[in-house]
Amino acid sequence: MKTYSECIPCFLRQARDAAKLAGADESVQIEVADSVAEKLPQFSLELSPPEIARTVYDTVDELTGGRDVYKQIKHESNKLAMGLYPKLKKIVEGAEDPLLAAVRLAVAGNVIDYGLPHAFDVEQEIAECAEKDFAVFDYTEFSDAVRSS
């Protein structure tokens, strides 16, 4: 995963949104955005978005008191995932290639990102990942490595 220049405004939006979720007043939200804006030029676009986001969220934590702003969302997501687990387990167990089915389900789980500004339909993401071709999908090499380990 590569970072593109189009990602930069998103990092600022994520910082502001996270500061709001943390209950920060407008002056602290501005302080968070300013601090993140000062740090962004120091990052190489060769870093992945999650690597940069770590610094963004560390800055939010530092300036808002370290509250886990996504705690409730994570709790709800885990509850949803546990509700889906029996169905997903049957999909994997009934698949011609259970490892491939598990990999595709893992990809669906990783596509869901609450830091992004759009909603997700979890069931739709699962269905799409079960069918679509990926731009990079080194499954054969991965499968061989798993089986030989």
Count other Cβ atoms within 10 Å, centred on residue 60.
29
Nearest residue to 59 via CA among 81, 41, 37: 37
Residue 30, CB-side half-sphere exposure with 13 Å CA sphere? 3
Full-model pTM? 0.63
pLDDT in tens, 40-49: 999 889 999 9
Question: What are the boundaries of each domain within the chain?
Answer: 5-64, 71-147
pLDDT in tens, 90-146: 999 999 999 999 999 988 887 766 666 556 677 787 787 777 788 888 999 999 999
Count other Cβ atoms within 10 Å, centred on residue 65.
11
